Each structure stands twice: as structure tokens, then as C-alpha cells.
Amino acid sequence: MANRMTKPEPAARPRAGNSSTTLSIAIGGLPIQFSVPDAGFREALAERYASFLIQGGGTSSIIEFEIHAVPPGRITGPENLDVRCERGMWRLGRGDFRAAFDLRERRGTLTLFPNPYSVDTLLRIVHSLLLASSGGILLHAASGIRNGSGVVFSGVSGAGKTTISRLAPPGVQLLTDEVSYLRREGSGYRVYGTPFSGELGLRGEDVSAPLAAIHLIEHGAANRREALAQPEAVRRLLRNTLFFAQEPELVSAVFATLCDIAECVPVYRLGFVPDARVWELAA
């Protein structure tokens, strides 16, 4: 959706140039650097993540990946995503890519047939791990900024995230129609734009806002909102949280964050009809 408001300005940052083989992609203010020798693939990534690029050598990256491109059929692995940690080394595998990285050493490798969707998957997993230890989550949710405040609409597939996004009135800046990025800031939480898009193909921009409310959406006979008690809010948010690891310490950290979110931020059940007036009720 086209922006139809005066947008919050992201911090001014130099753009990545074509003279370097590296790209740094910063989502939620956390930069991850990729070394991409293949110029064509580097250009495709630069276009896909244009709003989130920073100069490769201009800032300290959280982690650096070397990308190794291989021909089709050279990668073998499970059809479904496999994520595991072995003595501090994270290993990811799927039919289209393999990755290994150590968050302590801040280095990793990514082997793939050049496909931006594989990079998308890696970014989601790495950020989910980074957020687990820093008071944040990735949530299946559409989100936007209205009147300087962030509002989130979370739901399982088919709940209406795309519909809510399409109904956004003038004055709303959409951050994503698929995956929202929430992180603790001071006494509350902040919601950030992401490049992770759903049916609308909407790639957000590198902007953020204080999180005012979370709505757990479902199709209904009328627009109706009701506040949820913390235990119910946590239970429903847990179902919509993107997290790929099984390590008990990290799982406990994510659960603690969800409890904190439900205590700090109003969480509502929102039944809605496909009418733009739902935004008046929600934000």
C-alpha cells in the first residue's frame, strides 16, 4: 500500500554501494552482514531489502554471513525446516539451503541456490534467536502506525491479516502484512517495520513506533473488541509467535517476554467485518 501520511523519519544512513561484495540488512535496528560474491544475486538482495540496507562496513554487525551459491540439486536436506544447536553452533537445513552460525563468534555461512526466499527464512530465524535473549518476539501479525502509535493485528493463517491491511485508511503507514517485530524499549514495547511480506507483497520500511495495542483478530458478524486477561492473551499470542528453536532456556525467555507483553500492552480479541471502520475501533 502506498504511504499516505508524513512518515516517521528513519535515521539517515549511507546506502550500500555496488563496489562492495557485502550487504548489511538491518531489521529492528540489528544489522546482519552478508558477503555476496555473485553480483547478480547481490543486486537482487539489494532490491528486495532496499529499505533496510546500510553500508556494509559502516557499522558493527550483529553477525556476518558468507554466502556460497551452488547450482540446483547440489543441496540435500529435509523438505521441512530443521533447526538445531550443537555446542553453541546453530545449524539450519532445508531442501533449498544450509546454514551454520555461532552467535558468540558472530560469524556464519549460508549455502544456497541463489534465492531471496532462503535469505528471508534465515533472517527470520536469526532475528527470532536474537530477540529471545533481548526481550522481543516475531509475531504472525499485520501492523501499522497511526497518529504516531503502533497497532498490531495478529492471527493464524486466514484470520484476516491481509484484509485488515487492505482496509487501512488514509493516514496509516503499514509496517507489514505478515510478520511484526516487537521489542522491549523502556517501560513498554516498540513495533518495527519488516521486509517479510504476505499476500499483499508489502515490504515495510525501516521505521518504528511505540506499541499501543495488540489485537487478536477473527472474522465476525460485526466489529467488536474485548480486552483479554493476561493468561488468555499469553496463550493466544504464543500460538502466533514465530520461534524455531527448542532449547529450554530460549523457550523460557520467549514465554517470559510474552507474559511481559501481555502485562505492559493492552491485548484485545477483535472480531471484524471487511469494513474500514474497524480501524476506528482499533486505533
Q: Are residues 180 and 101 in the same domain?
A: no
DSSP string, 61-93: -SEEEEEEE--TT-----SS-EEEEETTEEEEE
Within this chain, do residues 128 and 153 fall inside the same structural domain, yes or no?
Answer: no
pLDDT band at 282 (very low <50, low <70, confident <90, very high): confident
Domains in the chain, number: 2
The pLDDT value given to residue 12: 35
- Identify whether the C-beta of residue 89 lies closer than 8 Å to the C-beta of residue 63: no
Same domain, 88 and 117: yes
**Mean pLDDT over residues 28-34, rounded?**
94
Domain that holds residue 261: 136-282
Same domain for 57 and 166, yes or no, is no
Give the CATH number of the domain where residue 162 resides: 3.90.228.20
Q: Of the given ranges (93-102, 176-185, 199-208, 240-249), which has the lowest mean pLDDT?
A: 199-208
What are the pLDDT digits (tens) for 196-222?
A: 987 767 778 889 999 999 999 999 999
Higher pLDDT, 82 or 73: 82
Segment 67-78, tens digit of pLDDT: 999 887 767 666
Point out the domain boundary residue: 79, 112, 132.
132
Same domain for 185 and 202?
Answer: yes
Q: What is the pLDDT of residues 234-246, one digit of tens each?
A: 999 999 999 999 9
Do 128 and 140 lie in one domain? The reply is no
- Identify whether residues 232 and 278 lie together within a single domain: yes
Residue 224 has a pLDDT of 94
The verdict on residue 117 lying in a domain is yes
Q: Is 6 inside a domain boundary?
A: no
Q: What is the percent of the chain where pLDDT is above 70?
A: 89
State whether 166 and 245 are in the same domain: yes
CA distance 24 to 52: 8
Residues 82 and 148 in one domain: no
Q: What was the pLDDT predicted at 56?
A: 47
Give the per-residue pLDDT at 77: 66
- Which tops the pLDDT comparison, 46 or 283? 46
Query: Are residue 73 and residue 115 in the same domain, yes or no?
Result: yes
pLDDT for the residue numbered 10: 38
Q: What is the dihedral of CA 108, 110, 116, 120, to 10 degrees?
A: -50
Is there a domain that residue 264 lies in? Answer: yes
- Residue where a domain stops, chosen among 89, 113, 132: 132
Last residue of a domain, one of 132, 148, 168: 132
State whether 77 and 200 are in the same domain. no
Average pLDDT over all residues of the chain: 88
